[in-house]
Amino acid sequence: MIKENLQQIKSQLPEKVTLVAVSKTKPIADIQEAYDAGQRVFGENKIQEMATKYEELPKDIQWHMIGHLQRNKVKYMAHFVDLIHGVDSFKTLLEIEKQAKKHNRVINCLLQARIAQEETKFGLEFSEIKAILDSEEFKQLTNIKVVGLMGMATFTDNTTQIKEEFTSLQNLYDELQPNNSHFTTLSMGMSGDYELAMECGSTMIRIGSSIFGARNYFV
Ligand SMILES: *Cc1c(COP(=O)(O)O)cnc(C)c1O
């Protein structure tokens, strides 16, 4: 079914939208099946799980870290990660910079914005994002490249609310883009809301359960 699910989703995507197949908790065999169907971009939310999968799978996979980052674990992915979606503090950017330098790499990052009205611990306020991008300390970083923004809408059936939240992020992105020439990526949309996200200008959707089926956290 993985192949059919992928084809079904891909057939709906405009060319500018990148599909990240979110394979967290899923076994190697499932990822290999998606790979064999042509998928090359995969997302994980735990650094060590991603590092293990990286070791075992073909090396032309682009691995995206989509989860909350523990700074002390950044070192386990610095040599291979392609894009880090969930950067939500300047301290984390500094750690990524440090680890990227060790490997002589420039690591692409997205700043995670808090757009959900529900209580969430993660994500930067819009004012904090602007302050980071404007700061001299940020401009001196050489081994990270902030290529855009990421956000997660409230988990709700209320499509008006979801659209409002995505639109707020789209507006921020459009405001920042002219002064941030590296900006190419607006990561928003998951299985339940990616169509709405694309209506609001998403260029990268992160889809797990609609490709791989429901996750079982108890195995
Ligand atoms: C798990 C996860 C997804 C994918 O969720 P689905 O609803 O299974 O598509 C997307 N983004 C983030 C940050 C996630 O943690």
Hey, which of 25, 41, 45 would you mutate to test ligand 1's pocket, going by the most ligand atoms within 8 Å of its Cβ?
45
pLDDT bracket for residue 122 (50, 70, 90): confident
Give the Cα separation of 65 and 82 in Å (integer).
Answer: 8
Q: Ligand 1 pocket by C-beta < 6 Å: which residues?
A: 22, 24, 45, 66-67, 152, 190-192, 206-210
How open is the CA angle 92-45-184, to the nearest 5 degrees?
A: 65
Give pLDDT tens digits for 66-105: 999 999 999 999 999 999 999 999 999 999 999 999 999 9
Work out which ligand 1 atom sits closest to the CA atom of 191.
Answer: 9
Compute, in angstroms, the gap from residue 153 CA to the centroid of ligand 1. 11
pLDDT at 217: 66
Contacts of 170 (CB under 8 A, 6+ apart): 186, 200, 201
Q: What is the mean pLDDT of residues 106-127?
A: 92
Compute, in angstroms, the gap from residue 66 CA to the centroid of ligand 1. 8
Hey, which of 24, 47, 111, 206 would you mutate to test ligand 1's pocket, going by the most ligand atoms within 8 Å of its Cβ?
206
pLDDT at 120: 73
The protein residue whose alpha carbon is closest to atom 6 in ligand 1 is 208
Indicate the class that CATH gives domain 2-210: alpha beta
Work out which ligand 1 atom sits closest to the CA atom of 212.
Answer: 8
Integer CA distances (angstroms), 177 to 4, 161, 163, 184, in order: 36, 24, 21, 8
Work out which ligand 1 atom sits closest to the CA atom of 66.
Answer: 13
pLDDT at 218: 56
pLDDT at 118: 81
Give pLDDT tens digits for 205-216: 999 999 999 887
Q: What is the mean pLDDT of residues 10-35?
A: 97
Alpha helices in 112-176 (DSSP H): 126-134, 136-139, 159-176
pLDDT at 70: 93
pLDDT at 219: 47
Helix axes 47-56, 28-36, angle to 10 degrees: 60
Per-domain residue ranges for the chain?
Answer: 2-210
Q: What is the mean pLDDT of residues 37-58?
A: 98
Q: Let me know: does 113 contact 129? Beta carbons within 8 Å.
A: yes
- Tell me the percentage of the chain whose pLDDT exceeds 90: 94
Lowest-pLDDT range of 13-22, 106-115, 119-128, 185-194? 119-128
Compute the CA torsion angle 212, 115, 118, 74 (nearest 10 deg): 60
- Tell me the percentage of the chain whose pLDDT exceeds 70: 99
pLDDT at 10: 96
Q: What number of other Cβ atoms are within 10 A of residue 212's Cβ?
A: 24
Give pLDDT tens digits for 152-198: 999 999 999 999 999 999 999 999 999 998 999 999 999 999 999 99
pLDDT at 117: 85
Compute, in angstroms, the gap from residue 140 CA to the centroid of ligand 1. 32
Compute, in angstroms, the gap from residue 125 CA to the centroid of ligand 1. 21
Hey, which of 65, 190, 194 would you mutate to test ligand 1's pocket, going by the most ligand atoms within 8 Å of its Cβ?
190
Q: What is the mean pLDDT of residues 15-20?
A: 97
